[in-house]
Amino acid sequence: MINIAFAEDQLLFRRGMSTLLSTFKNINVCIEVGNGKELLDALALSNETIHIALIDISMPVLNGIETIQQMRLHYPQIKSIILTVHEEDKFIHKLIEEGANAYLAKNADPDEVEKAIRSVAENDYYFNENTMRVMRNFKPGKGQKNNLQNIEDLTNREKEILLYICKEYTSPEIAEKLFLSESTINGHRNNLLAKTGARNTAGLVLFAIKNKLFDVDV
């Protein structure tokens, strides 16, 4: 069962989305609130283990970016999917850098919503074609950090593991593929996070795409 928390200030959209989510097998909406502060308050009181939070980017009191920043501090185990009408390139890149595991437009097809939730639950990220295009074409603006210098810090083994991560292999699957223990793979994954400055797996894939390490496809 994948337990969902949902924060969205537009009541009609929130109720419609909750109804849609209830039709998906083994997906359960445990929390439904109107803004980021209410989400954090509800998480503090919840007796359920929340796996994924669906978060609108434009909310009063505490917006989507502020909410995932707070969740990173207090609930790092909860993965986040941002829902928004903003499809500008700068928003997508910013959200992934801040720690979002996926990004979905509010007019996304219901099948894609389900696919995104299951992919984030299993692989820690979901990128559709538009997100991949944005990442491939992104160029740092003036004063923005470029990660190219970090590539030389990666060992060949870390690059190999990063490639499998980009191909959506889980840690147990990578361990089996490379004849290593799962703890060893997780150790390399943690080193990759530290060296690249990525927040999560989505950030690692972003790093690989931005620096053109591999030919990454969805």
C-alpha torsion angle, residues 188, 92, 14, 1 (rounded to 10): -20
So what's the pLDDT on residue 132? Answer: 75
One-letter amino acid at 148 equals L
So what's the pLDDT on residue 119? Answer: 93
So what's the pLDDT on residue 40? Answer: 97
Rounded to whole angstroms, what are the CA distances from 140 to 41, 46, 90, 133?
A: 36, 40, 10, 15
pLDDT tens, N- to C-terminus, the chain (218 residues): 999 999 999 999 999 999 999 999 999 999 999 999 999 999 999 999 999 999 998 898 998 889 999 999 999 999 999 998 866 666 777 788 888 999 888 889 999 999 999 999 998 999 888 777 766 766 655 445 555 556 778 899 999 999 998 888 888 999 999 999 999 999 998 999 888 888 888 888 888 887 777 665 54
In a 3-state reduction of DSSP, which class is residue 28?
Answer: strand
In a 3-state reduction of DSSP, which class is residue 143?
Answer: coil
So what's the pLDDT on residue 87? Answer: 61
So what's the pLDDT on residue 201? Answer: 86
Domain boundaries, given as residue ranges, for the chain: 2-137, 147-210
> How far apart are the C-alpha atoms of 99 and 115, rounded to whole Å?
19
Task: Tell which CATH architecture fits domain 2-137.
Answer: 3-Layer(aba) Sandwich (3.40)
Output the six-digit token pair for 205: 């894939």
Domains 2-137 and 147-210 are alike in CATH topology: no
Phi and psi torsions of 137, nearest 5°: -95, -5
So what's the pLDDT on residue 218? Answer: 45
Q: Which CATH class is domain 147-210?
A: mainly alpha
